[in-house]
Amino acid sequence: MNTDLQDYSHKRYNILTGEWVLVSPHRAKRPWQGQNEAVSNAVRPAYDASCYLCAGNTRINGEENPKYEDVFVFTNDFAALQTESKNFNVNDGLLIAQSEQGICKVICFSPDHSKSLADMDAKDIEKVVFAWQKEYAELGNNPLINYVQIFENKGAVMGCSNPHPHGQIWSQTTLPNEVDKKDQQQRAYYDKNKSSLLGDYIQQELTKQERIIFENDGFVVLVPFWAIWPFETMIVPKQQQQSISDLKGNDTFLFAEAISVITKAYDKLFNTSFPYSSGIHQAPTNGKDNSHWHWHMSFYPPLLRSATVKKFMVGYEMFGSPQRDITPEIAAQKLRELI
């Protein structure tokens, strides 16, 4: 391990976005007198009559959920994107805008209100993967949709308004900012090297074994060299695949196993139901040649040094660039020890 990276401030380059993150390992020992988050480890019931997402309950719009037994998907009652939005453009000097259309869905991972992905076994998580695949294919085949974003916000500190185990799928006409950056970076690398950017990256990581947390026959779970969040991780298929539609045979279970392993490790880290935002970045559904894409799933957890102390993206992070204290190598070591 390069000791300079563990002892001195430096910048690390994010190969997927073309941006830099400032790393300040010497600051990890500084005392904390700031905000402490409230921690709730209360055991939730398996069914909550007041929950809009529980099986058989009536949602705010008057629709009744079916008595679902595993995964349930429905169109978001408060969608951020509209399918019937008017098409328009604004080009008024430096005032530029354009209409955006899309479809937003909610996916309930389980009828059990008390669970999170960390509490589910890999076979049940695989059912969620199957649902993701179905929605990606169906939404992507809609001429209106050119990108499908699958994500989950877990925990109140991440803005999750309902503790029932669920995620969301926002699909839209154009590529969101983060996806557009990754599309350009991967395409440039593929055009130059005729190989996958992430494929070559994980081969280097597998050789070094400094940031690898877990691997099975199909996937690697690691802390990216350029990670921004303290315990940020990424799940990457070992073989290049453009999207989750490319998962075949046992691939879906191996992916589910990787999700199970990292979410369980998170909960053990600070002995709490670990909050995070997770998301899958994969090939656009725009009908173009996306052979440069290598899909991956990222987890961005905010907790820094305990269940009550979180990382804030403020000040320098807002006006300069992202910054982290604990190094990716130390974060990987801590998580690896919990598996």
Tokens of 293: 């894409």
| DSSP 8-class letter at 30 | -
Question: What is the helix (H) or strand (E) element at residue 151, kind and residue range?
Answer: strand 147-154
Tokens of 149: 């974003």
Rounded Cα distance, 336 and 326, in Å: 15
Task: Tell me the backbone φ, ψ of residue 232, rounded to 5 degrees.
Answer: -60, 140
Residue of 134, 102, 137, 147 lying closest to 290 (CA atoms):
147
CA end-to-end span of the chain: 21
166 in active site: yes
Rounded Cα distance, 218 and 237, in Å: 6
Tokens of 9: 């401030």
Rounded Cα distance, 126 and 60, in Å: 29
Residue 211 CB partners (closer than 8 Å, separation 6+)? 205, 222, 223, 224, 225, 328, 329, 332
| DSSP 8-class letter at 66 | P
Q: For residue 18, is it left (φ>0), alpha (ψ between -120 and 50) or beta?
A: left
> Measured in whole angstroms, how far is the alpha carbon of residue 46 from the centre of its chain?
26
Contact 54, 111 (CB under 8 A): yes
Rounded (to 5) percent helix, strand, coil in the chain? 30, 20, 50
Options 10, 113, 164, 166, the catalytic residue = 166
Q: How far is CA 133 from CA 154, 165, 289, in A?
A: 21, 18, 20
Tokens of 261: 């392993």
Alpha helices per DSSP H over 85-196 = 122-140, 177-193
Active-site residues, by number, are 166
